[in-house]
Amino acid sequence: MTREELLLSSETQRFRNEHPETVKGWERQLAKGECGPDLHFCFYKLESYPNLTARLDAVEYRFDFAINAHILHAKLQGQFLEDGHVGPLALEHANEALSDIYRSLDEIDPEGRAAILKSLQ
């Protein structure tokens, strides 16, 4: 899988480098099954996308992917808030956008994944 398919953008990598303790905390939360609602959404939403989940499991990257998605989800939510959406609506839009990304990454056809990945850059 490519860095883009793993949601490992330069911004995500920078966050991981600047906040390693936060990332470790999220890893522990995922391992224990005790995480906050946004991280929970990012991780458990993967169950709806078997092709994506299988590829992540093949490279042992499911937890890391969920954390990358969580970082992206926060960015998306912030963008929707900046666009003037109230909190719950911004959250819903971020959830929908992340679901669209997962759906695209779940496609077996690499060309189908390319469009959504290009939009993340």
pLDDT digits (tens, 9 = 90+) for 32-61: 999 999 999 999 999 999 999 999 999 999
Residue 113 has pLDDT above 90, yes or no: no
Q: Alpha-carbon distance 61 to 67, whole Å?
A: 10
- 121: tokens are 């850059």
Q: Which pTM was predicted?
A: 0.86
DSSP 39-72: HHHHHHGGGG-HHHHHHHHHTT-HHHHHHHHHHH
The candidate with the shortest Cα–Cα distance to 98, out of 46, 59, 62, is: 46
pLDDT digits (tens, 9 = 90+) for 11-24: 999 999 999 999 99
Q: What region does 117 belong to: left with phi over 0, alpha with psi -120 to 50, or beta?
A: alpha
Return the pLDDT at 110. Answer: 61
